[in-house]
Amino acid sequence: MVKKRNQTAGERVFDYLNTFVLLIILAAVLYPLVFVLSASISDPQKVVSGQVWLWPEGLTLRGYEKVFHNGDILRGYINTILYTLAGTALNLLLTVMAAYPLSRRDLYGRGVVTAFFVFTMFFSGGLIPTYLLIKKLGMINTFWAMIIPGAVAVWNIVIMRTFFQQSIPRELEEAAEMDGGSNMTILLRIVLPLSMPILAVMTLFYSVGHWNAFFNALIYLTDRSKYPLQLILREILIQSQMSDMVQVSEESLAKSIMEAESIKYAVVIVANLPIFLLYPFLQRYFVKGITIGALKG
């Protein structure tokens, strides 16, 4: 990869400064994260009264117990993994299918199509017409309802388009053209392999989106057995912001609010740990492509 080189004094200073700044950022970000971990295994009373500063106080696994006590969790995990895998695959496919053509500067109608897409980021018919449409298409309470609405994000199309425009040297494409390659060949043989970084990023973005999704499920799914993880977790997590706490028979709710404190943090960890690990896994794709070799060759 990067060859070892002799460093000038200036470079060394820069490196030290850089490391220093990054260490500060690291600490600033790390502290609250450790807090979340500690809070998830601490006595909720102590957390709330500010007695937990870094390390857990009053060790308890009660938060996690409550989370896993719910039999639906496993089902929720499985459903979410399914939705994420299928959904992301569809997303990537459609995004590339839109972004690549739009990245050709002499594609006629490019601006119009882009505007056509971007317009939908701002204007939408709203929940009711969309729901009625989904219903007409027979997708209510199906796996498809979790995948198809929102199958492409315009934001991501635009970003991917930018990447294709900028990061694939035109010389390579021109060379392929002259060799008689069709557009599809160029796309598949040259552009995509060189686009690992952006594909990795999009995989990450879409996967996280699916993983956190709950609104579609809330509206379109009626079968509990199809519920994704987030929906199940929301049910466990009783929000303590209910202002009519003093309503009749809500004291059972209020009693659980104390427990909700450690559950809150446990839920965050349980919900996000798997998807969080996706990035380190994808990091290896953030490498410089084979650009240099190809250019020279």
Contacting other proteins (CB under 8 A), which of 61, 78, 89, 118? Answer: 118
- Provide the strand spans (E) within the chain: none
Q: Which is nearer to other proteins, 85 or 155 (CB)?
A: 155
**Cβ of residue 272: shortest distance to other proteins, in angstroms?**
4
Where in 133-192 is the site for other proteins (CB under 8 A)?
Answer: 133, 135, 148-153, 155, 158-159, 162-163, 165-167, 169-170, 182-184
256: burial class by Cβ within 10 Å (0-12, 13-18, 19+)? Answer: middle
Contacting other proteins (CB under 8 A), which of 89, 127, 138, 290? Answer: 127
Q: Which is nearer to other proteins, 82 or 169 (CB)?
A: 169
Q: Which residues contact 40 (CB under 8 A, 6 or more apart)?
A: 63, 64, 262, 265, 266, 268, 269
Residue 104 interacting with other proteins (CB under 8 A): yes
Q: Which is nearer to other proteins, 11 or 85 (CB)?
A: 11
Q: Which is nearer to other proteins, 239 or 297 (CB)?
A: 239
DSSP track, 184-253: HHIIIIIIHHHTHHHHHHHHHHHHHHHHH--HHHHHH---GGG--HHHHHHHHS--TT-TTTTSTT-HHH
Is the distance from CB of 262 to CB of 69 less than 8 angstroms?
no
Residue 297 interacting with other proteins (CB under 8 A): no
**Cβ of residue 6: shortest distance to other proteins, in angstroms?**
10
Residue 125 interacting with other proteins (CB under 8 A): yes
Q: Which is nearer to other proteins, 142 or 183 (CB)?
A: 183
CA dihedral sign, ordered 134, 136, 140, 145: negative
Alpha carbons 40 and 255: distance in angstroms, whole number: 18
Residue 2 interacting with other proteins (CB under 8 A): yes
Q: 175-199 burial string, b = 16+ CB within 10 Å, else e? A: bbeeeebeeeebbeebbbebbbbbb
**Cβ of residue 266: shortest distance to other proteins, in angstroms?**
11
Residue 89 interacting with other proteins (CB under 8 A): no
Taking CB under 8 A as the binding criterion, the range among 56-64, 76-84, 289-297 that sits at the site for other proteins is 289-297
Residue 293 interacting with other proteins (CB under 8 A): no
Q: Which is nearer to other proteins, 78 or 250 (CB)?
A: 250
